[in-house]
Amino acid sequence: MSRIVIIGGGIAGLSAAARLAPLGQVTVLEAEPALATHASGRSAAAFIEDYGNATVRALNRASLRHLSDHAGGVLSRRGVLLVARADQADSFASDRIDMGMDDISVPEACDMVPILNRDTVAHAAYRADVMDLDTDLLIQNFTRDARASGARIVTGVRVDAIARANAGWTVRWKDGVADADIVVNAAGAWADHVARMAGIAPLGLQPYRRSMAQLPAPEGHDVTAWPLFEGVDSAWYAKPGAGKLTVSPAEEDPMDAHDAFTDDMVVAEGLARYSEMVTTPVTRVETTWAGLRTFAPDRALVIGPDATMPSFFWCAAQGGYGFQTAPAASQLLGDLVAGRAPELPGDVVTALSPARFG
């Protein structure tokens, strides 16, 4: 039975563990004391089928059934509303087409989100099939499935050396060591760093910070049934949930891998862009946080064996869609490790392969 060490206990590593545990003896090593501490604990928790490039959209579509049905499903209806000023007509038109949304009138938009400012909102479009994705539940489900198939999940273990040993690998940390036939690199923003540790060329993955500010629900409003609403050109978005409104400046600021934190100025500027389109002023920010969305240069995930070292698998570059792609991405990883014909079409598998970087 293959010994498989997975480095990283976020959604990438845990979904990988669920798929690989039936195939071998899986150990997940996570540096932090708790699972899903970094990007996977900080997301907007949405499923948007037409988000990302064509390769990512293929993963979104292929993940939908698992997300809807497995263990009772993790999706619930939210919808998305795009709003724009009169002078943003061109951006509105291209965003609306890109996201497959239907034009609606401003009064219809205000019926959905009553705080929209009729003096500034001149265009609106809507799409109903955008979902809330219960990220905690998805993590729990994959973790439970992995453990049920015998996976060992260890937290508080920061891998600091990975060496070739015979046909496999020796993975070391401060006070421990594990031998493996296969290493899976699911280290999120640190994936290139982990590759270097193993003597493998990095792929040029780039983490970008994205921040969130949680506001109380605007006074007198029940936000439960509001859609996610957003400005054009990815200038800001606001997501209702649990009686709160979470507003993101939707920034993409390149960063080195680290425990991300917000920049007050970036959050304030994002809240100003949001405020321009609503009638209720932001009087209180309850909490803020930031996470790193890590992208490959072509913005598709990287799933598969390293081009130079077939026992080193990448499960990285989940970008801004790591949850909504996790079922299909981890299924592909399982297919490739097992040597099965992948369920995904060949062109998608090629577009996800680490070998595409030459």
Ligand X SMILES: Cc1cc2nc3c(=O)[nH]c(=O)nc-3n(C[C@H](O)[C@H](O)[C@H](O)COP(=O)(O)OP(=O)(O)OC[C@H]3O[C@@H](n4cnc5c(N)ncnc54)[C@H](O)[C@@H]3O)c2cc1C
Residues that bind ligand X in the complex, under the rule CB under 6 A? 7-13, 29-32, 36-40, 42-46, 158-159, 186-190, 194, 210, 212, 291, 293, 318-324
CB 119 → ligand X: shortest distance, Å? 30
CB closer to ligand X, 19 vs 293: 293
Minimal distance in Å, beta carbon 120 to ligand X? 25
Q: Nearest approach, Cβ of 46 to ligand X (angstroms)?
A: 4
Nearer to ligand X, 37 or 149 (CB): 37
Question: In angstroms, what is the minimal distance from the CB of 179 to ligand X?
Answer: 16
Give me the least distance between CB of 167 and ligand X, in Å please.
23
Q: Which is nearer to ligand X, 7 or 153 (CB)?
A: 7
7 versus 121: smaller Cβ distance to ligand X? 7
How many residues in the chain?
A: 358
Closer residue to ligand X (CB): 45 or 337: 45
We find the least distance from the C-beta atom of residue 2 to ligand X, in angstroms, to be 20
CA distance linking residue 40 with residue 194, whole number of Å: 18
Beta strands in 137-243 (DSSP E): 152-155, 161-165, 168-173, 176-180, 182-185, 206-216, 228-231, 237-241
Distances (CA, A) of 278 to 21, 27, 148, 318, 357: 49, 49, 48, 32, 44
Comparing CB distances to ligand X, the nearer of 67 and 121 is 67
Shortest spacing between CB 217 and ligand X, in angstroms: 20
H-assigned helices in the chain? 11-20, 54-69, 89-98, 106-112, 135-148, 191-197, 264-275, 326-338, 346-352
**What interhelical angle do 135-148 and 326-338 show, nearest 10?**
20
The rounded distance, in Å, linking the Cα atoms of 286 and 145 is 35
b/e for 44-79, b at 16 or more Cβ within 10 A? Answer: bbbbbbebbeebbbbbbebbbebbeeeeebbbeebb
Q: Which is nearer to ligand X, 121 or 270 (CB)?
A: 270
